[in-house]
């Protein structure tokens, strides 16, 4: 299996609405590694590593906005995989 890595920054109402923990649960369900953290500018930054299909499914999940989140924009960039394991909330 080829592992891909994507960094996503979610804009909108994404802090204080369980975005990070919902993302962690969904990533674990899909077997995707990485992390999610709040940033000082009010966005949430997410790094995802896993199979292409699983990572793309996670990006779709993030675009829809988990729970009570309202995602106005999701900026996504490719990065070299680092071999992460597990998913953490920072």
Assess contact for 76 and 10: CB atoms under 8 A: no
Told to judge if 24 belongs to the known catalytic residues of this protein, a careful annotator would answer no
Catalytic choice (7, 13, 30, 38): 38
Catalytic choice (5, 6, 20, 24): 20
Told to judge if 20 belongs to the known catalytic residues of this protein, a careful annotator would answer yes
* Helix/strand/coil (H/E/C) assignment for every residue in the chain: CCEEEEEEEEEEECCCCCHHHHHHHHHHHHCCEEEEEECCCCCEEEEEEEEHHHHHHHHHHHHHCCCCCEEEEEEEEEECCCCCCCEEEC
Q: Point out the residues that are catalytic.
A: 20, 38
């Amino acid at each position: 299996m080829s592992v891909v890595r994507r960094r996503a920054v979610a804009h909108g109402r994404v802090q204080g609405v369980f975005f990070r923990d919902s993302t962690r649960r969904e990533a674990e369900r899909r077997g995707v590694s990485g992390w999610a953290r709040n940033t000082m500018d009010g966005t949430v930054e997410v790094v995802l590593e896993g199979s292409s299909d699983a990572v793309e499914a996670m990006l779709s999940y993030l675009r829809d906005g988990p729970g009570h989140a309202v995602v106005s924009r999701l900026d996504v960039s490719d990065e070299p995989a680092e071999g992460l394991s597990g998913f953490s909330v920072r």
